[in-house]
Structure 1
Amino acid sequence: MLLSPYTVKRICTPILSRRTAARFGSLAREGLILQSASSNVYENLAVEDWIHDHMDLEQKNVLFLWRNSPTVVIGRHQNPWTECNLHLMRDKGISLARRRSGGGTVFHDLGNINLTFFTSKKKYDRMENLHLVIRALKSLQPDLDVQATQRYDLLLDGKYKVSGTASKLGRTVAYHHCTLLCSADSSLLPVVLRSPYDGIHSNATPSVPSLVKNLSHAYPSLTCEAVMDAVAKEYRFLYNDKPNIHVVHPSDEAFFPGITQKIKELCTWDWIYGKTPKFDIQKTFQIFHKGIVVDGHLSISIKNGCIESCSLVLPSHWLSEQSCSELQDSLVGSKFCPREIIFLVTTLLRSCPDEEDVHTKWNMLCETLVSIM
């Protein structure tokens, strides 16, 4: 994922310890270009947080270039259960991450470039950044028809979205980040960003579906490496060709003191799932058992990613009200995730009377619950 050496000079140097900050002082007051050597989404998102929190952006602008292994990244105020296919992602080993900025859900892989523009809040200008990206693309393909929209997306041929955008505004500093679809897995992208879950009622920020297309599918010369080179070159032009690209290793404390804790926070269940705005699930379901179809209804309220209340309605001749009550009461307070529900039901089965029929029915209900998570 390194940029080609004929375009820019790389200096792989630790940054931003007190000693190193002084070394970059005069350069940073104008412009600084950083490129991540990592494809770990949590590490790269942590770099964004670190720069936002620790760098003096009043006197310098920073461009951060990064790519990730397959990941779905949701916005700060989004609900992963309504935004993506969590079952498919678990099966294929695709990560889920929640970023600090708002905006919609995006799919990342090594064919998708991420660009983060850091400035002071008063210099923040998303449209100016997008125009820089457009100039970079046109330097590679002059007849390319790509335009910025009022939603701060980039459209190819007036139809296909090739870049999504989001931002975070602090008290005095800000950043704007956008994606660029160069050669992402176009067969995987649409299916992982399609939620299969129904019956969910949520006030979380929804994504706006769009037609997408890879730049390289339209123009094979627009590879990730070529595009990153062009963007870096265009950014350098703003500062009289002064900023070189500095390759950084996000997990190294010598580069970013204290970043390990930021990475850990972004990996936690409490952040990825627990920050989901409160939502409810109303679901009717059927269970086929011993030649008969049993109709059931499930009502769950979820707050901070945990089950706040649960109501399970089943025919009393199939499962007693006492058994239903015991099961639903045990679910309250647990995390809304398959692993925890399976563990909880397994533990509950060990403590209940050794009745094979009851165990079978509870296991079937457990499978129903897991199917909506």
Structure 2
Amino acid sequence: MYLFDQKRNGQEVRDPRYNYAIASFLANELQLDEPIMRFYINQPAVIIGKHQNAFAEVNLNYLEEQQIDLVRRSSGGGSVYHDQGTLIYGFIGKNDHASYQDFSRFTQPIVRALQHLGVKEAQFGGRNDLLIHGKKFSGTSMLVNDSKVIVGGTLLLDADYKTLEQVLTPNKKKLAAKGVKSVQSRVTALRPYLAKEHRDITIEAFRKLLIKELFAVDQLEEVKVYSFSDEQWRRIDEIVQKQFGNWEWNFGRSRQLEYRRDERFSFGTVEFQLTINQGKIQNCKIYGDFFAPGNLTDIEKALLGVSLKQKDLLDIFNQFDLRKYFGDVTAAELVAVILS
């Protein structure tokens, strides 16, 4: 079995768009004589399932403020938050037609490795989770095609509960969306359960220990490594541009969403009632109790067909003298209401 080399030009790849492009390439395009395993860390990102509505799953304003990426993966399931306290693993091997939905076959080696590191309470539970005292520290997904089985999972070494709650808690004010919703689960981090000698390790050191356990080696140099060529990295660039780094893939595939957003300003309340389809405004009505003389139909028409991107919305509102239509308000403040 190979261990995938996560480095490009000597630098570890932590961009989630690239990491999902790598996963796609390994699963769909690369042919190997042996299975391959990878362990990687993403910079802060929300990962949503293939069939989910991005606008119904996350707090877009918070993502913008904190510069957190959103990436839609190619497989189903719910939304998760990754940061530098999350170790992600993936396994790609030949389909032996005996693996479908047999999660324990792939998770038990992880459980045994964690138990050797002191996490005696770790166990496989539910349909595809790893648990400690009933709390989830790892979720697993599986995809099987004619030739390969692809398994992926996360290991939560440290949990940023505050950010987790913020990013995966969109404003539910009068919101109705079509699409698969995430199910919130009780989660726990692994660090408190590690043996004392491992409890202060970095996530990079945790990864090394886990790899040595899984590959049954004393030194990492004993593990057989697979590295991409320059040509393969160029193919990864193409996949990022076409899919995982593309706004249309990450946001534009969202199904119809209808919601109301309102905010109280010094001059009165402004309310937006919007229908969003494929990431663009399909219908728009603006209401309020303010006294500005402008005809709001002008702005409503201008917003039709506009993508729900901060920059695109700002471009529209900046075309108007907003005092004439609303009162003392800026384009940025109105966009913040829509994306709240």
* Aligned counterpart, 1:14: none
Deviation at 1:197, TM superposition (A): 4.6
Alignment of 1:148-167 (within 5 A): 148-158=124-134, 160-167=135-142
Calculate the aligned-residue CA RMSD, in Å. Answer: 3.0
Write the distance in 2 (CA, Å) between the matches of 1:163 and 1:182.
Answer: 10
* Aligned counterpart, 1:210: 185
Write the distance in 1 (CA, Å) between the matches of 2:191 and 2:85.
Answer: 10
SS of equivalent residue, structure 1 residue 273? helix
1:301-345, Cα deviation, whole Å (9 max, x unpaired): 111111111122345x7255x712111111110001222111111
Of 254-263 and 165-174, the range deviating more from structure 2: 165-174
Residues matched between the structures, number = 324
Of 79-88 and 358-367, the range deviating more from structure 2: 358-367
* Aligned counterpart, 2:117: 140
Query: Does 1:232 find its partner at 2:235?
Result: no
Relative to structure 1, the CA distance from residue 187 to residue 281 in structure 2 (aligned partners, 3 Å threshold; closer, same or farther) is closer
Instruction: Say which of 162, 167, 174 aligns to 1:192.
Output: 167
* Aligned counterpart, 1:22: none
Relative to structure 1, the CA distance from residue 139 to residue 325 in structure 2 (aligned partners, 3 Å threshold; closer, same or farther) is same
Deviation at 1:214, TM superposition (A): 1.6
Instruction: Say which of 104, 126, 130 aligns to 2:103.
Output: 126
Deviation at 1:56, TM superposition (A): 2.7
Instruction: Say which of 46, 51, 60 aligns to 1:77.
Output: 51
Deviation at 1:155, TM superposition (A): 1.1
* Aligned counterpart, 1:370: 336
Relative to structure 1, the CA distance from residue 38 to residue 248 in structure 2 (aligned partners, 3 Å threshold; closer, same or farther) is farther
Contact preservation (8 Å) 1:181, 1:213:
yes
> What amino acid is aligned across from residue 270 of structure 1 in structure 2?
E
Contiguous gaps of at least 5 residues in structure 2 = 7-11
Write the distance in 2 (CA, Å) between the matches of 1:111 and 1:205.
Answer: 26
Write the distance in 1 (CA, Å) between the matches of 2:161 and 2:288.
Answer: 43
Deviation at 1:206, TM superposition (A): 1.4
> What amino acid is aligned across from residue 103 of structure 1 in structure 2?
G
SS of equivalent residue, structure 2 residue 142? strand
1:43-93, Cα deviation, whole Å (9 max, x unpaired): 111110111121236x53221111112222222122233322222222222
Relative to structure 1, the CA distance from residue 55 to residue 229 in structure 2 (aligned partners, 3 Å threshold; closer, same or farther) is same
Query: Does 1:116 find its partner at 2:101?
Result: no
1:189-211, Cα deviation, whole Å (9 max, x unpaired): 33323223522211221111122
Deviation at 1:363, TM superposition (A): 4.5
* Aligned counterpart, 1:28: none
Contact preservation (8 Å) 1:253, 1:259:
no
TM norm structure 2 = 0.83
* Aligned counterpart, 2:252: 274
Deviation at 1:215, TM superposition (A): 0.8
Q: Which is higher, the Rg of structure 1 or of structure 2?
A: 1
Identity %: 22
TM norm structure 1 = 0.77
Relative to structure 1, the CA distance from residue 243 to residue 311 in structure 2 (aligned partners, 3 Å threshold; closer, same or farther) is farther
Contact preservation (8 Å) 1:32, 1:244:
yes
